[in-house]
Structures are given as structure tokens and as C-alpha cells.
Structure 1
């Protein structure tokens, strides 16, 4: 007697798998939305942290490119006896003779002068401001820009005229100087002719009152010794120039000369920012893990609530593999929904914050790709156990459940 052909279960096309897997999300939209929200928060946190950090670094790189990383400063250190050293008067012109040096300017601190808005201010209230004699080439050397008024020139440098750093102007309450705006510097009245913008590579100038070199000597008792020499050199020769600066500035005592590169401070600030980014990414991963637990919890409850559906499908011929694939697909769709929403939210947060800070908005491709990959892993891990549990239910057991 001929045996009948063995029946084989129907195969589900990919579109059918997605449709069957999405049925559970459509029938319980509120629960699906809340579960996807947990994943979205974790993904958004990760994308926003990476995006804001990348935008900040892009802004820092833009500023460094505009300001240049070829600025070096020379200042006096200490003698062998621990006393403050001084730079010789010839330090600035000697440094200017170094072949790769393209610009040089000096400032000198006027120790005996204090700054007051009027003579009614108590002598102890100096606001932490300093008076610096400045060369005319200082703005072009350090990358300073004038916010209001004008910089010193060959005429005003010989007369009682002053330019304020950004912090000094704020502390003195001077925003836009006029011909009637004056300060008491030492015992002389100085007219304020300009206010500078903040100087990222020379922040020590922000809290300074800058006067001409000649008038500082004649009217304020300045000794003529520079306390800081700023110089620009060719980018390819920065380290070579840095190596000879101490001996050039003070040949008789090079060990008492301190040489620094202000842009190194900004690079260190970026390294600190990267460390903070790593910490925030860790917090984002914790949030993503919590979201994955929420997805797993939703899928387990879904299996318990839909035992009748599972039993009916099994009775109609669905295999364990098809049931397992259905619930795994549902978990992946749930996580993908949260992942897509999280990526969009993270990009929106990055764009909003970068726009508020006037930074370029940068979201690395690897961040969005990694976020989507993380959602697939979260969805697969969260839905694996519920899918296996659903597949193990026999038709009679599932149909007999209350």
C-alpha cells in the first residue's frame, strides 16, 4: 500500500514574518511605545553625548585653526636661589632675529600702578586688574581683536591712553569707550580708547589694562623689562624654535627662562573633555541596558498573555521555529522603533545644543551606525528567551491556559 506524502509546513516569506511580528505591536500600542521609549532614551543619550563632544572638538579645532598653534610665550622663571628672575631688555629683539620667527611682541607688568575707575574707590579694591606696558604689534601676534574702540598706535602709545581686556572692561563697567571715558592708573588719568575681545591663547591679557610702552616708562615708572614675550613662528619649526628660545632670550642664564605653548592648554582641555565623554557614554549604556530589560519584560508578558494565540497557531500548523521567529521579530521591531527614535532625538539634541553654542553640529557616522547596531543586539538579547519560551509551548498546553 502506498504511503501518503509527508506534509511539510508552509514557509513564511520575509514580508509575512514582519507582518506577523508587528501584529503584537499594533494590538498593544501604548505598551509598545513605553518599552520603545526606554531604548530610545538610552540611544539618544549615547548619540547626544558623542555628537555634543564631537561638535565641541570641531569648534576647538576651528578656533585653533583660526588662532594658530604656532604661538609661543617666553617669561622669566626663578633663579637658583628661588628668587624671581627678569628678562633682559634685549630679549624681544633677540628673539625677533630667529629666522623662523614671523612676529614678536612683548608686555611688561607695571608693578607700582593700580587701576581705579575714580579716586573715590578704596585703595584695597583693585578688582584683581594689572597694568601692562604693551608693544603695538601685540594684537596681531596673539590673535587679539578689538570689540569696541581702537588699539594703540604710534601716537597714543606715547600719551595716557589705555586699552582694556575683556575681563577688565567688565569689572570696570565699561562696554563702549568714549572720549570722556577715563581711568585712574597710578596717579595719572588715562583715556580708554578700546576694549578687546577675550583672547583664548593669552587669557592673562583679559584682566589687564594695556598702555603704551613709552608712556609706561615716563608716567608710571616702568623699568622697561619685559615680563612676557609672545612670538609666532612657522608651523614646521615650532619645536626647533622652542628649543633655542631660552638661550636666545637670556644667554647668560637660560635656566631662568620659562617657555610655554598656550595651545597645549587647549589640547589638554580637549583630553579632559574626552574623559568626560567616556563617563557619559557609560551612563548612556546603563540607560540602554535598562531599556533592554524593559523590552524583555514586555515580551515575557506578551508571551504569557498570548498563549491562546500561540496554541491556535501551533494547532493550525505553525512550527516551533515559526513561533520563535515571530516573537524574536517582534522584539527586534520594538527595539528598532526605539533605536530609530533615539537616533533622531540624539541628533536633534546635538543640533539644538550646538546651535545654541554657535558650534558646528557634528554627529559621527559611527555613532549612529553603532546606535542602530546596539538596538539590534538589545532586541535580539531581550527577545531570545521569550521567543524560546513561546516556541516550547505545546498546542494543548497553550489552548488549555486560562
Structure 2
């Protein structure tokens, strides 16, 4: 007589017995799945928020361009502060690929709301001479009023950067401020200068007006230059020698967009730390699942013994408990993915970023939950399968 072959559990049967075990203890299932959900939600949200911030940065770079270079005076051979030549702007404009050049020059003066405020109170606002081509080069918008032109640049008028206007209490042109012992009329208020934040904190007067009324010496302190995208590196290589042919080593050349890219890199390092915290939360959730499954095996020895006595094989018992662990982890993972995606979308919309959750993050989160479920359920499943029917029924 041939031996009896035990029936194989179909996928539907495995799912049914796994869900039956979870439905019997709903409160414990929810608490165990919560640990997995918190870990997955943290990881998805961190990746999503970081990706949304990066996408916003890339869009800003595309809008602002990476073809802006700046030249500033460095130090002389003997450690003194160098100066850019007065004709630096006109010399740079002669470089073939250069499309726009603007400059600012530091003015030894302070700007105050009235002449009654002490000179030492500056609110962090600097006064600079500005060339007429400055905002065109930087791509800064005029929020209210008009920018300096050939007419206004010769007279005591001032343009306020976005932060400077707020600190002085101006949201539109009109009115006057006290600069260098005389009144200057506010001509306009600028929008944010993302690639040149120093402009936001400045009060800008015309180049000729700065010479006439504020004792400006005519030497630029920051030169801004834009060229075609394809020629940025070539222009960068010759910019210092063009600005100061006699002493090119005294000129510091930089690209403002590099600062934004460095900021993104720093944010990425912080993201790694948060991902580590999410992984710890996920590990704690996995320990909770394992604990739940071990206790479930101890509490259900009678059920295991009865199933074994009715013909269930060790493999079928092992599959049953492993399925319960996987379903428990998958439940926590699914909830965590939804929560993490929701947090990403809400935070991104609040900050005005495009919500981005990489597909690989969602796939990785689900894969992590299945791995946690397998590892957490493996020992309890093997322990349940090793119980003999007689011993399981006898200890109840």
C-alpha cells in the first residue's frame, strides 16, 4: 500500500490561515504593525522630502542658470586687501562669450530710517554703489518702482534689496532714508536675489551718485558676469587675468550656483542621518513582530497540536506562521508607505516644492518590510513546526 501524500496548501489557503491568525488578536496586530509603519513612514518621508527639496533646487538652478561668475578682490602678496581696477567692468565686457556684466562697490556709509537713529545701528544693511546693468546680470526682478537708469543714477536715489526694505519698513518706493548725512529717495524695492543674497541686504545707489555724494572711489568690490553656458569654464579660466592683468592672483573667482549645490550635498548628509534613525525604528518594529509571533506560538500550542494530529505537516505549520509574520509586516509597511507619502506631499506643498517620492523608495520600503517579516517570523515558524502533536496537546 502506497504512503499517503499530504495535500499541499494553495496560495489562497496560506493567505486565509495567515489572516485568520491575525484577526484573532487585532489589538496586538495593530501595535506590532505600528512599529513597522513608523519606521517605513520615517524612511519614505525622509527620502521624499529630500528628493522634493533637490527637485526644487534643480528647478531653481535651471531658472537662475549656472552661468553666473563673480570676481572679488583677494589679498596682495603682503597680506593687504587688494582692489579691483576701476575699468574692470569694461574690460570683462570685451570677452567674447560674455553676455552681461554688472558690479557693486562698497561705500563707507550707513543707511537709517531717519537721521535720529544712532550711526552704529545699521540693522546689517550695507550701502553699495551699483552699476545700471546689475539686476539684468543677476536676473533680479523689481518688485515695486524702477531700477537705476542713466538719469536717476546721478542723483540721491536708492534701491532697497528685499531684506533691506523689510528691515527699514518699506514695501514700496517713496519716502526717504538717511545715508551719509543726507536724504536719499527710495526709487524701488527688489525681489529676492537667490544667487547673490548680499544684494538682498543692501541699499544700492547709482555709481555716479555714490562718487558725488558718498565719497566712493570707483573701485568695484564685486563683479558679476554671465556668459553662454558652453563657455562658462573658458571664461572662468581667463576672468582673473582680464579683471586685473597685472596681478591676476589678487582676484578671487567663484560661481554662486556652486553654493546651492554644496547646500544640497549638506542636506544629503543630514538625510543619511535621518535614514539611520528610520532604520532603527524599522529594526525595533521587526523585534516587535518577532516578539508577537513567539508569543503567538506559545499561546497557540493547542491549535498547533490539533492541526498536526489532523495531518498537517511541519512544513505547513511553518508556512502558516511565516505567512502571518509576512502579512503583519506587510500591513505595517503599507500603512507606513501611505503615511510617509502623505507627509512628503504635505510638507512639500507647504514649502512650495514639487512633491517627489522616488519609485525606488516605495519599492525599497516594501522590500524592507518583507525582509523584516521573513527574518522576524523565521524562528517562531520553525519553533512551531518542531512541536510534536502529543507534546503540544499535553501541555495545554
- Which bin holds the TM-score, normalised by the shorter protein? over 0.9
Aligned to 1:232, what secondary structure does the other structure show?
Answer: strand
For 1:253 and 1:372, the matched residues in 2 are separated by 60
For 2:246 and 2:163, the matched residues in 1 are separated by 37
Aligned to 1:123, what secondary structure does the other structure show?
Answer: coil
Aligned partner of 2:63 in structure 1 is: 66
Aligned partner of 2:106 in structure 1 is: 109
* Greater mean deviation of Cα atoms: 233-242 or 4-13: 4-13
Equivalent runs, 1:1-400 vs 2, <5 Å? 4-111=1-108, 113-177=109-173, 179=174, 181-400=175-394
TM-score, normalised with respect to structure 2? 0.98
* Greater mean deviation of Cα atoms: 119-128 or 356-365: 119-128
Aligned to 2:223, what secondary structure does the other structure show?
Answer: strand
For 1:154 and 1:18, the matched residues in 2 are separated by 80
For 2:87 and 2:134, the matched residues in 1 are separated by 17
Give the CA deviation at 1:246. Answer: 0.9
For 1:190 and 1:25, the matched residues in 2 are separated by 76
Aligned to 1:93, what secondary structure does the other structure show?
Answer: helix
For 1:306 and 1:148, the matched residues in 2 are separated by 75
For 1:67 and 1:284, the matched residues in 2 are separated by 35
For 2:258 and 2:99, the matched residues in 1 are separated by 20
TM-score, normalised with respect to structure 1? 0.97
For 1:319 and 1:37, the matched residues in 2 are separated by 32
For 2:373 and 2:233, the matched residues in 1 are separated by 52
For 1:149 and 1:47, the matched residues in 2 are separated by 45
After superposition, the CA RMSD in angstroms is 1.0
Runs of 4+ deviating beyond 3 Å: none
Unaligned runs of 5+ residues in structure 2 are none
Aligned to 1:372, what secondary structure does the other structure show?
Answer: helix
* Greater mean deviation of Cα atoms: 50-59 or 193-202: 193-202
For 1:17 and 1:109, the matched residues in 2 are separated by 77
For 2:5 and 2:239, the matched residues in 1 are separated by 86
For 2:253 and 2:4, the matched residues in 1 are separated by 86
Give the CA deviation at 1:10. Answer: 1.4
Give the CA deviation at 1:338. Answer: 0.5
For 2:225 and 2:163, the matched residues in 1 are separated by 23
Give the CA deviation at 1:171. Answer: 1.6
Q: Number of residues paired by the alignment?
A: 396
Give the CA deviation at 1:266. Answer: 0.8
Give the CA deviation at 1:333. Answer: 0.3
For 2:103 and 2:353, the matched residues in 1 are separated by 32
For 1:152 and 1:110, the matched residues in 2 are separated by 17
For 1:328 and 1:358, the matched residues in 2 are separated by 44
